[in-house]
Amino acid sequence: MTKSETGDLKTADGISLKLSLQRSLRRKKRNALLLVAPLFLFILITFILPIFYMLMKSVDNSITQEILPTAAPLLLKWDPKSGELPDEEVFKAFIIDGKVAAKEKTINRLGKRLNYEKSGTSSLFRKTGRKLRKLDPEKLTTTYQEALIGMDKKWGKLETWQLLHRESGPYTKSYFLSAVDMKQDVDGVTWKAEDSQIYLNLFKRTLWLSFLITFLTVLLGYPIAYLLATLKTSTSNLLIILVLLPFWTSLLVRTSSWIALLQKEGVINDFLFAIGLISNDGRLAMIHNQTGTVVAMTHILLPFMILPLFSVMKTINPSYVRAARSMGADSFTAFRRVYFPNTIAGIGAGGILVFILSIGYYITPALVGGTQGTLISNFIAYHISGSLNWGLAAALGTLLLLLVVALYILYDKIVGIDNMKLG
Amino acid sequence: MALPLHATTGERIWHYTFLTICVLIFAFLIIPILVIIPLSFNAQPYFTFTPEMVAFDPAGYSTKWYEAFFSDSNWRAAVKNSLIIALFSTIISTFLGTLAALGLSQKDFPFKTAMMGILISPMIVPLIISAAGMFFFYAKINLLGTHIGVILAHAALATPFVVITVTATLTGFDHSLTRAAANLGSSPTNTFFRITVPLITPGVISGALFAFITSFDEVVVVLFVGSVNQRTIPWAMFSGIREEISPTILAVATLLITFSIILLFMVELLRRRNERLRGITPH
């Protein structure tokens, strides 16, 4: 390093030291970015894009314009509140589009799509499709309107066209409305009839059960974490295996063991029967209901509470409590006023983690939850592989995702993602 | 935790009550796992203890569910699928995750929190949502029902675990060691392989074990992204429990418990070795 005439430091090759340092820092930053880039791209393609694709699916309604390419844009211009049926032009476009779709057999897909909004639409479209196939639009003796109404009287009803009008745009909010038990008609958005409300109750049940499970894991996890944190390291290292073993054991193993324990002919009922506490007819129903879900999930998620609590408790200096005791606090007061407030961060960390995990749980409730113990995830799965209403599945998934993201931000505020540790 | 000599009667009672509560909670944690082991040797097709088993009558016990497991071609295929998928997704996620952790641990990495948030999002997003998104998207790009699709999906789910474990190893990393090596004339490549790699290896291996178990135990995504040809052990157990409950599942469960005990000990040994290497001794 030499000192130049102007006075700033230079490296051996004559470049200003400041510049050289800046350069090396930039190079370091670039290298760091290059190291992260492959994983970033990988996650983007295999994970983030699919999630976005699902978000899009929850509002996507391109099917109407795909199947009715001329009728749908025309129908959008019609005023559904006019009290009159759409123009002859719309009926003509519908018959021509419908004839093509009937030939390609895509018209039933549209019927099925609209059936989610109003039942009976699917059969209306099937019936109309069959008749459209036989019809030659060139040789009509009546108006297009009369021809279509002749196929099914429902085409003469305002509400059929109002529905079609509502779902003619490229996007729809109907999936989201269904996901919160609402429906839209010509007068605007209203609640569905009380007896067909499903999802709000399901969200409520999911939140309530997740809260209950979180509370139970705090209740059971706190004493264990406290014991582990205050024991000698050699003893606690041994005991922590009892926490880590369930953590490492397959989820399905733990779920099947709860089935073995809880079912009517299972270990617990057999034991209670053998010692005479219950009669053979009085066997307890502990599975395929909410009890099953709560017990099994509390067991499965308990390590996620104990481990963060334990790591927080380990950092609490024991002299704090000793100081409180020496100043006259009894052991309960010392715990309540000194030790416990120090562990709140750990309860928050573990609590949010357990809560996030439990609101998205699928496998365990599906196997031990019956009908009353299933959660929102089970309905998402049902709409993907059972009812095939993918839009509704995506809308429910989006709502669940929003909930989780909000909790995640909270977690980041309390703990910081950088501090997340495993095992 | 030991009770001091001057403890009052009340404190003594509370102390032993507390210990009893702890024992009960430990029992709650561990009994459901242990109970499955004897049940898997049941001679009868029940999920409970038969009177013969309680009386320790050898006739009550049998290994026929293990024989059923080993002789069933469906289960063998499931084991093969599980191992292939877990192995490849572990390789992908360990490689990408370790590189990213090395980059992220550099000082003043731009937008570190945001980047970390994106990279570990597969761990935060509920599995059912990941599964739904992947199902729709992979169907579009024709990866549904292929081994590659499931491997990519599992690799995405497993990378956060690798990133987190390796980053944790690197936070305790003493950077003066690499500077010392450079000062002594070692090239950056040489420094990386002779100094950095040996120090982070335990972290990388435990990250890889986490990744392996994530894939090996995963069932939601494989149910949606895979087809019958990708049927893994958890999938077979899931449908087994739903359709016909046979104690073969308990035999499989016992084998999986043995497997997880082995993994657990490996991870613990690595963790302790790592702490020793970094000079953090348990006290």
Task: Note the ipTM here.
Answer: 0.89
Contact between A263 and B47 (Cβ < 8 Å) = yes
Residue A411 sits in the same domain as residue A388? yes
Contact between B42 and B62 (Cβ < 8 Å) = yes
* A281 located within any domain: yes
% of chain B residues with pLDDT over 70 = 97
- Report the mean per-residue pLDDT for chain B: 88
Contact between A346 and A224 (Cβ < 8 Å) = no
Query: Mean pLDDT highest for which of B103-107, B116-120, B155-159?
Result: B155-159
Contact between B130 and A51 (Cβ < 8 Å) = yes
* A183 located within any domain: no
Residues of A in contact with B47 (CB under 8 A): 259-260, 263, 265-267
**Which of A57, A75, A100 is the last residue before a domain boundary?**
A57
CB contact under 8 A, B116 and A33: no
CB contact under 8 A, B242 and A367: yes
CB contact under 8 A, B210 and A422: yes
CB contact under 8 A, A38 and B26: no
pLDDT in the model for residue A264: 85
* A247 located within any domain: yes
Q: What is the largest CA-CA distance in chain B?
A: 75
Q: How far apart are CA A340 and CA A128, in angstroms?
A: 70
Q: Locate tokens 């416990």: which residue?
A: A340
Instruction: Look at phi and psi of residue B273 and say left if phi exceeds 0, alpha if psi is from -120 to 50, else beta.
Output: alpha
Residue A30 sits in the same domain as residue A100? no
Q: Locate tokens 């978000």: which residue?
A: A55
Identity at A343, one-letter amino acid code: T
Q: Show the tokens assigned to A390.
A: 């993918």
pLDDT in the model for residue B276: 74
Dihedrals φ, ψ of A16, to 5°? -60, 140
Domains of chain B with CATH codes: 76-105+140-277 (1.10.3720.10)
Residue A372 sits in the same domain as residue A249? yes
Residue A95 sits in the same domain as residue A29? no
Q: Which of B8, B18, B48 should we substitute to test contact with A (largest number of A Cβ atoms within 10 Å)? A: B48
Instruction: Kindly list the distances between the CA atom of residue A330 and the CA atoms of A324, A423, B9, in Å, as whole numbers in the listed order.
Output: 8, 35, 13
Residue A239 sits in the same domain as residue A381? yes
- Chain A CB within 8 Å of residue B230 CB: no
Residue A282 sits in the same domain as residue A363? yes
Locate all alpha helices (DSSP H) within B172-282, ordered by sequence: 175-183, 188-191, 197-217, 220-225, 233-242, 248-277
- Chain A CB within 8 Å of residue B177 CB: no
The pTM is what?
A: 0.88
What distance in Å separates residue B147's CA from the closest CA in chain A? Answer: 14
- Chain A CB within 8 Å of residue B208 CB: no
Contact residues, A window 200-259, toward B, CB-based 8 Å cutoff: 220, 223-224, 227, 230-233, 237, 239, 241-246, 248-259
Of the candidates A256, A267, A418, the beta carbon closest to that of B237 is on A256
> Domain with A333 in it: what CATH number?
1.10.3720.10
Which region among A387-391, B2-6, B125-129, B168-172 has the lowest average model confidence (pLDDT)? B2-6
pLDDT in the model for residue A419: 57
pLDDT in the model for residue B7: 77
Contact between B125 and A397 (Cβ < 8 Å) = no
- Chain B CB within 8 Å of residue A46 CB: yes
CB contact under 8 A, B103 and A32: yes
Contact between A392 and A175 (Cβ < 8 Å) = yes
Q: How far apart are CA A14 and CA A4, in angstroms?
A: 9
Dihedrals φ, ψ of A185, to 5°? -130, -165
Of the candidates A42, A257, A384, the beta carbon closest to that of B132 is on A384
Size of chain A, expressed as the number of residues it contains: 423
pLDDT in the model for residue A1: 47
Give the number of domains in chain A.
Answer: 3
Residue A203 sits in the same domain as residue A145? no
- Helix, strand, or coil here: B75? helix
Of the candidates B99, B122, B263, the beta carbon closest to that of A35 is on B99
Residues of A in contact with B211 (CB under 8 A): none
* A368 located within any domain: yes
Q: Which long-range contacts (CB under 8 A, 24 or more apart) does A260-264 make?
A: A260/B35, A260/B36, A260/B39, A260/B47, A260/B48, A260/B250, A261/B32, A261/B35, A262/A286, A262/A287, A262/A291, A262/A292, A262/A295, A262/A296, A262/A368, A263/A287, A263/B47
What distance in Å separates residue A121's CA from the closest CA in chain B? Answer: 25
CB contact under 8 A, A32 and B238: no
Q: How far apart are CA A228 and CA A6, in angstroms?
A: 64
Give the mean model confidence (pLDDT) for residues B7-36.
91
Contact between B235 and B146 (Cβ < 8 Å) = no
- DSSP bridge partners of A188: A185
Please determine, for residue B1, whether its predicted confidence score (pLDDT) is greater than 70: no
Residue A53 sits in the same domain as residue A72? no
* A149 located within any domain: yes
Residues of A in contact with B245 (CB under 8 A): 259
Of the candidates A35, A52, A421, the beta carbon closest to that of B102 is on A35
What residue ranges of chain A have pLDDT lower than 70? 1-7, 416-423
pLDDT in the model for residue A57: 93
- Helix, strand, or coil here: B181? helix
Residue B7 DSSP label: -
CB contact under 8 A, A38 and B29: no
Residues of B in contact with A357 (CB under 8 A): 126
Residue A46 sits in the same domain as residue A105? no
- Chain B CB within 8 Å of residue A420 CB: yes
pLDDT in the model for residue B283: 38
Q: Which domain holds residue A42?
A: 2-57
- Chain A CB within 8 Å of residue B109 CB: yes
* A415 located within any domain: yes
Residue A28 sits in the same domain as residue A74? no
Query: A404 CB contacts (<8 Å, ≥6 apart)?
Result: A356, A359, A360, B124, B125, B126, B129
Residue A35 sits in the same domain as residue A16? yes
Size of interface A-B (CB pairs under 8 A): 280
Nearest residue on chain B to A258, judged by CA atoms?
B32
- Chain A CB within 8 Å of residue B266 CB: no
* A88 located within any domain: yes
Give the mean model confidence (pLDDT) for residues B34-52.
86
Identity at A22, one-letter amino acid code: Q
- Helix, strand, or coil here: B186? coil
- DSSP bridge partners of A60: A171
Nearest residue on chain B to A252, judged by CA atoms?
B234
Residues of A in contact with B267 (CB under 8 A): 248, 423
What distance in Å separates residue A233's CA from the closest CA in chain B? Answer: 7
* A179 located within any domain: no
SS (H, E, C) chain A: CEECCCCCEECCCCCEHHHHHHHHHHHHHHHHHHHHHHHHHHHHHHHHHHHHHHHHHCCECHHHHHHCCCHHHHHHHCCCCCCCCCCHHHHHHHHHHHHHHHHHCCHHHHHHHHHCCCCCHHHHHHHHHHHHHHCCHHHCCCCHHHHHHHHCHHHHCHHHHHHHHHCCCCECCHHHHHHCCEEEECCEEEECCHHHCCHHHHHHHHHHHHHHHHHHHHHHHHHHHHHHHHCCHHHHHHHHHHHHHHHHCCHHHHHHHHHHHHCCCCHHHHHHHHCCCCCCCCCCCCCCCHHHHHHHHHHHHHHHHHHHHHHHHHCCCHHHHHHHHHCCCCHHHHHHHHHHHHHHHHHHHHHHHHHHHHHCCCHHHHHHCCCCCCCHHHHHHHHHHCCCCHHHHHHHHHHHHHHHHHHHHHHHHHCCHHHCCCC
% of chain B residues with pLDDT over 90 = 50
pLDDT in the model for residue B281: 46
Residues of B in contact with A267 (CB under 8 A): 35, 39, 47-49
pLDDT in the model for residue A416: 67
Q: How far apart are CA A374 and CA A367, in angstroms?
A: 9
Give the mean model confidence (pLDDT) for residues B54-59.
83
Q: How far apart are CA B109 and CA B103, in angstroms?
A: 8
Beta strands in B94-212 (DSSP E): none
Contact between A302 and B29 (Cβ < 8 Å) = yes
Contact residues, B window 42-101, toward A, CB-based 8 Å cutoff: 46-49, 92, 96-97, 99-100
- Chain B CB within 8 Å of residue A47 CB: yes
Give the mean model confidence (pLDDT) for residues B185-196.
88
pLDDT in the model for residue B134: 96
Question: Are β-strands A9-10 and A2-3 bridged in parallel, bridged antiparallel, or unpaired?
Answer: antiparallel
Q: Show the tokens assigned to A233.
A: 């390291």
Residue A305 sits in the same domain as residue A157? no
